[in-house]
Structure 1
Amino acid sequence: MAAPPSPPERSSLSPYLLLIIPPLCWAGNFVVGRAMHADIPPAALTFWRWAVAALVLLPLAGSAAWRLRRELLRHWRLLAVLAASGVLGFQYCVYRGLQTTTAINGVLIIATIPAVIPAIAYGLDGTRLRLRQAAGIALSMLGVGIVILQGDLALLAARRLTPGDTWMALAVPMWALYSVLVRRLPAAVPPLVLLLATIIIGLVLTAPLYGADIAAGRGFAVERPTLAAIGYVGVFASVIAFACWNRGVRAVGAAKAGLFIHLMPVFAAVLATLFLDERLQAFHFVGGALIAAGLYLSSTAGRAR
């Protein structure tokens, strides 16, 4: 997480090496979310994911967060938007999407985030949107359309779109918004403190959704597989992935960091094939190629003359 450019974060790892860790952890998050879609409701998985993350972070950053509470309160609006978009919005949409779509479909749609980040930055900061970036966004969206339609326009005419793909598409601007806004946070506050504060706010925002599920009788069995799933998404996909991501964004910026999300489809395809017995189909390759071409156009816009 970061504000305006500040001295580089001290780390034993290069920020570019750190940025490889989040897509690997998040690819695993998609596989776990899909594997447990019939066992844990989306709101419950979202809530307990962040509850575990908060428990892990409290001993590490709790005292510092209390000491810096006045500084955090000065930025409560920004923290609330980050929690609503990155902690609640994105994660809930992903888990809701994985109820009815495959992990491979999900990550291909989410892979468009780097192309959407410049559009969000333009809307919020007035950052110039180059023609190549606009073309890249359009091409990526075309690729997403092919994945959602499974290469068959008849699905659109018959209104037989998979609801999960729509939820995944809603998740894309959520994370793009988080990635742009995270750089506005105060550089003087340690990243883990900012992460803990964001997670706590996110838990408060998620609680009503989870409470509604409980009231409706949509709970889950406390068994070894469900506990293992919650443990993975709470520690690896949350604390470790977010800490590495936020540090990487602070060091290299949202646009460059966003390019590492390109690794998610690769990691997820391997994991989904190994653990979920999912198979890549022709429309995955066509849609993925268009998404990759769009990402290339968007990411090379700054070098184009």
Structure 2
Amino acid sequence: MNQKLTPSTAMLLIIPPLLWAGNAVVGRMVSELIPPITLNFFRWAIAFAILLPFGFSIFRKGSGLWQSRKRFALLGLLGIGLYNALQYMALHTSTPINVTLVGASMPVWMLLVGTLFFKTKVAGKQVAGAVLSVGGVLIVLGHGDLQQLLALQFVIGDLFMVVASIVWAFYSWLLIQSTDTEALRRSWATFLLAQISFGVVWSGALAAGEWTLTTSQIQWGWPLAAALIYVVVGPAIIAFRCWGLGVQRAGPSTAGFFNNLTPLFAALMSSAFLREMPHGYHAVAFALIVSGIILSSRR
């Protein structure tokens, strides 16, 4: 595995947290319009339809999809069926800022999962990088004020996000297990479609359970339609493509630190929408997060 962090690899790993920051905001905005697990199902069902013309060859005999069906069924369950469903569930009772705060624990879970289940060693620089990066996130969340940080309150949605972060750590480590055939790796569309094919089944089953056990309703309209377009094209297709390629190049441990850019991007988006200029603490936080990324990825 190549652990060197090149500018192109860094860009690949910056795009997903930028799009995921918007995903948290949009997910909160439509939380009253559509049930969370159903939103996740529609998201991936539409993504499946978009990618099908580009990767339909994986369904042909000998493509390798059925040979690796257990692996892709697991990737689909973790990355497609569970992670975003848990995140959308979290946004029903928590705020985007709290959700991104809990998601900032990603580097820690990446290191723990890699050590306990994938027999990787944790270097001291990775621990130091995690401390710096999380410190930058805390500065953003507290707006540079310790009292505001201590006043943050957590709810059940934050627990959902903890589970989601652990799920994503397993997903990221499984991405680099090179057991796929060349036919599946030949195109990013085929590799992602292979995961979505199983993930849609998982998310559909979970959505069916949601409608069976709850009094779910959908309020159709342009706001929901626009939200679906964004979460499908941006956080789903583009972000997953960039994340998968970035993880393969840099490794899950290094990639996990980039996830801490999500709350920073979320804060900057809020500033833009509210027409507020960024503050000094944003610059400090950005410096700490980037320092953590650079430190953890150094040879």
TM-score range (shorter-chain normalised) is: 0.7 to 0.9
Change (3 A) 1:256 1:133: closer
The separation in 2 between residues aligned to 1:19 and 1:133, in whole angstroms, is 17
SS in 2 for 1:72: coil
The separation in 2 between residues aligned to 1:74 and 1:220, in whole angstroms, is 38
Gaps of 5+ in 2: 142-147
Residue of structure 2 in register with 1:242 after alignment: 240
Q: Are the counterparts in 2 of residues 22 and 245 from structure 1 also a CA contact under 8 Å?
A: yes
State the identity %: 35
| Deviation per residue, 1:175-229 (Å, 9 max, x gap) | 1111111011426223321211111211111112211233333021221111111
Counterpart of 1:170, as a letter, is: V
SS in 1 for 2:176: helix
SS in 2 for 1:233: helix
Residue of structure 1 in register with 2:26 after alignment: 32
| Deviation per residue, 1:216-259 (Å, 9 max, x gap) | 33021221111111111111110111111112222232223333
The separation in 2 between residues aligned to 1:302 and 1:27, in whole angstroms, is 23
Match status 1:94 vs 2:92: no
The separation in 2 between residues aligned to 1:141 and 1:168, in whole angstroms, is 16
Residue of structure 1 in register with 2:159 after alignment: 166
Aligned equivalent of 1:123, options 105, 111, 116: 116
- For structure 1, which segment, 103-112 or 67-76, has the greater mean C-alpha deviation from structure 2 after superposition? 67-76
The separation in 2 between residues aligned to 1:140 and 1:151, in whole angstroms, is 16
Change (3 A) 1:140 1:267: closer
Change (3 A) 1:83 1:254: same
Give the CA deviation at 1:299: 6.5
Give the CA deviation at 1:18: 2.5
SS in 2 for 1:80: helix
Residue of structure 1 in register with 2:295 after alignment: 300
Q: Are the counterparts in 1 of residues 12 and 242 from structure 2 also a CA contact under 8 Å?
A: yes
Counterpart of 2:171, as a letter, is: Y
TM-score (norm 2): 0.79
Change (3 A) 1:228 1:180: same
Match status 1:44 vs 2:41: no
Counterpart of 2:51, as a letter, is: L
- For structure 1, which segment, 129-138 or 110-119, has the greater mean C-alpha deviation from structure 2 after superposition? 129-138
The separation in 1 between residues aligned to 2:38 and 2:194, in whole angstroms, is 20
The separation in 2 between residues aligned to 1:252 and 1:130, in whole angstroms, is 15
Tell me the number of residue pairs that the alignment of Structure 1 and Structure 2 aligns. 283
Once superposed, what is the RMSD of the aligned Cα atoms?
A: 3.6
Q: Are the counterparts in 1 of residues 31 and 91 from structure 2 also a CA contact under 8 Å?
A: yes
Change (3 A) 1:44 1:59: same
SS in 2 for 1:128: coil
Match status 1:21 vs 2:15: yes
Residue of structure 2 in register with 1:75 after alignment: 68
SS in 1 for 2:220: coil
TM-score (norm 1): 0.78
Aligned equivalent of 1:53, options 47, 50, 61: 47
